[in-house]
């Protein structure tokens, strides 16, 4: 499953609105822990349970190098292009999981895929973590 551009899309275009239940963030956190992949941040205290049954926007996949982001517009959350998108290109967002919150493998297929659905902010942390783990393995082996 995924979303693909039927036509070229200009940067900054709101494409589809996410629809769903607005829930307290605590409830969203529990759902994420139980493996839900359709919970998005709504505001500081609320998440949205944005299952694809309410809007096809819920089908959007994660990409390490996304072409879309979720932006607020007229009180709603919109899947919005962040750069020009070619026809038939898959629409991708950065799911933006914190390091430690989720260890979901990523198969976005980008040549420089991180292998994890992880927000960009945490990439340097991941790199440090990996080098630490590699150092530990080296210590164990020698
Ligand atoms: Zn990836």
For residue 84, the CA-to-ligand 1 centroid distance in Å is 20
Q: What is the pTM of this model?
A: 0.77
Domains of the chain: 3-141 (2.170.270.10)
Q: What is the Cβ-side half-sphere exposure of residue 75, based on CA atoms within 13 angstroms? A: 1
For residue 133, the CA-to-ligand 1 centroid distance in Å is 21
- Please write the tens of the pLDDT for every residue from 94-106: 887 766 666 678 8
For residue 105, the CA-to-ligand 1 centroid distance in Å is 8
The confidence score (pLDDT) of residue 140 equals 63
Give the Å distances, CA to CA, from 130 to 44, 64, 133: 31, 18, 5
For residue 120, the CA-to-ligand 1 centroid distance in Å is 11
For residue 37, the CA-to-ligand 1 centroid distance in Å is 15
Q: What percent of the chain has pLDDT over 90?
A: 46
- Please write the tens of the pLDDT for every residue from 62-106: 899 999 999 999 889 999 999 999 999 999 998 877 666 666 788
Would you say residue 41 has pLDDT above 90?
no
For residue 62, the CA-to-ligand 1 centroid distance in Å is 7
Q: How far apart are CA 136 and CA 130, in angstroms?
A: 10
For residue 65, the CA-to-ligand 1 centroid distance in Å is 7
List of residues 6+ apart from 63 with CB closer than 8 A: 90, 92, 93, 94, 106, 108, 110
């Amino acid at each position: 499953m995924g979303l693909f551009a039927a036509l070229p899309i200009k940067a900054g275009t709101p494409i589809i609105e996410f629809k769903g239940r607005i829930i307290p963030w605590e409830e969203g956190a529990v759902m994420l822990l139980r493996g839900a992949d359709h919970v998005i941040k709504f505001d500081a205290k609320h998440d949205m349970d944005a299952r694809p049954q309410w809007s096809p926007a819920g089908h959007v996949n994660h990409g390490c190098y996304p072409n879309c982001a979720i932006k607020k517009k007229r009180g709603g959350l919109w899947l919005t292009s962040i750069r020009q998108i070619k026809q038939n290109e898959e629409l991708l967002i950065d799911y933006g999981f914190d390091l430690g919150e989720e260890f979901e493998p990523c198969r976005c297929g980008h040549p420089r895929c991180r292998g994890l659905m992880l927000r960009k902010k945490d990439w340097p942390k991941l790199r440090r973590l990996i080098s630490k783990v590699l150092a530990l393995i080296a210590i164990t082996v020698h």
